[in-house]
Amino acid sequence: MSKRLIDLQHISKSYDGQMVLDDLNLYIRENEFLTLLGPSGCGKTTTLRIIGGFETPDMGTVIFDGKDITGLAPNERQLNTVFQKYALFPHMSIAENIAFGLKIRKKSKAYIADKIRYALKLVNLDGFENRSVDSLSGGQQQRIAIARAIVNEPKVLLLDEPLGALDLKLRQDMQYELIRLKNELGITFIYVTHDQEEALTMSDTIVVMNQGYIQQIGTPEDIYNEPTNAFVADFIGESNIINGTMLQDRLVRILDVVFPCVDVGFGNNTPVDVVIRPEDVELVAPERGMLQGDVTSLIFKGVHWETEVQANGYEWLVHTTQMHPVGTHVGILVDPFNIQIMNKPESNDEKAVELDA
């Protein structure tokens, strides 16, 4: 297990009396690709800016490699930031853009030339030294911004929604480029996004945030398959989130039907939230279903049909490779292992933490 490189301890931050981060605690390991994921205003960019030194927390401490860096300026920290707006200098060549930080640090011409060649090769833009910024596509500009950060040999690369301005295909290509770069460089990446697909594709660890609180920390598989609350389940991918009653261990009532499940420890006759992913709902002949319904909507998504089924007063979302025309009467089956049970919030305060108000 890699050692802790960054430790955020009891970080709080507010703007104009509005709390953005509330007693946040988070550590980031060496060589980790960690993504801060959440909706606009959840505190993820503020967290990144506090790590980078662009913001100072109202309370709390930022520890970097065992040292307190809370009061250090950005240029005194062993990290570099790549922003959504790449902030390249249009009056400089590509080589001059990449060399900017090295010249400030008074590195030799030979050292700088060697670093420029290395960085351009790493981002697959060999021979672009003398090109102008304006001649580059959005994806190429993004890679130059990354190259400029890499040559300074940071221990950490901070990326604030860096792919947000790119089109879908280019964004997907750049996701794989970033994974490759992280593996080749062996440095820590801290990535901010509101895009669930980006987070699931690239991350070793995902931190889901909402309203200044951390909702869940885990691997992409953990976050998707075992969400800790209804907010995470709804934010990461699509879900059927249904009110239920845990009758006893391994038995839950949903929509007046009793379903076997694998969860225990919720007590008897306890109100719960039940989460079932669309791909985990199986459409079968009506007589085979645990409940029956009618197909109300059908959209072809390429790899599956996105199907809506009205059953027992609930509109089920189903992803299936089988086409069931609108109006078809179907049965619904769900494997007990694919039923996720969650406690409902116990108070309004807890609800504010757990759910998007």
pLDDT at 86: 66
133 closest CA partner among 98, 168, 89, 169: 89
Give the CATH fold of the 4-225 domain: Rossmann fold (3.40.50)
Looking at per-residue pLDDT, the higher value among 75 and 351 belongs to 75
> Where do the CATH 2.40.50.140 domains begin and end in the chain?
238-354
Residue the block writes with tokens 């021979």: 127
Looking at per-residue pLDDT, the higher value among 84 and 55 belongs to 55
Residue range 238-354, CATH number: 2.40.50.140
Residue 356: is its pLDDT beyond 60?
A: no
pLDDT at 245: 98
CA distance linking residue 109 with residue 136, whole number of Å: 25
Per-residue pLDDT tens over the stretch 294-321 = 999 999 999 999 999 999 999 999 999 9
Residue 199: is its pLDDT beyond 80?
A: yes
pLDDT at 346: 62
Residue 89: is its pLDDT beyond 80?
A: yes
Is the distance from CB of 211 to CB of 356 less than 8 angstroms?
Answer: yes
Per-residue pLDDT tens over the stretch 21-70 = 999 999 999 999 999 999 999 999 999 999 999 999 999 999 999 999 99
> Where do the CATH 3.40.50.300 domains begin and end in the chain?
4-225
Residue the block writes with tokens 């507010």: 14
HEC sequence for 152-202: CCCCEEEEECCCCCCCHHHHHHHHHHHHHHHHHHCCEEEEEECCHHHHHHH
H/E stretch holding 24: strand 18-29
Q: Is 216 left (phi over 0), alpha (psi -120 to 50) or beta?
A: beta
Where does residue 107 rank: exposed (0-12), middle (13-18), buried (19+ CB within 10 A)?
A: middle
CA distance linking residue 42 with residue 349, whole number of Å: 16
User: DSSP for 56-103?
Assistant: --SEEEEEETTEE-TT--GGGSSEEEE-SS----TTSBHHHHHHHHHH
CA distance linking residue 354 with residue 344, whole number of Å: 9
Per-residue pLDDT tens over the stretch 152-180 = 889 999 999 888 777 888 788 888 888 98
Q: Which of 9-13, 44-48, 106-110, 335-339 has the lowest mean pLDDT?
A: 106-110
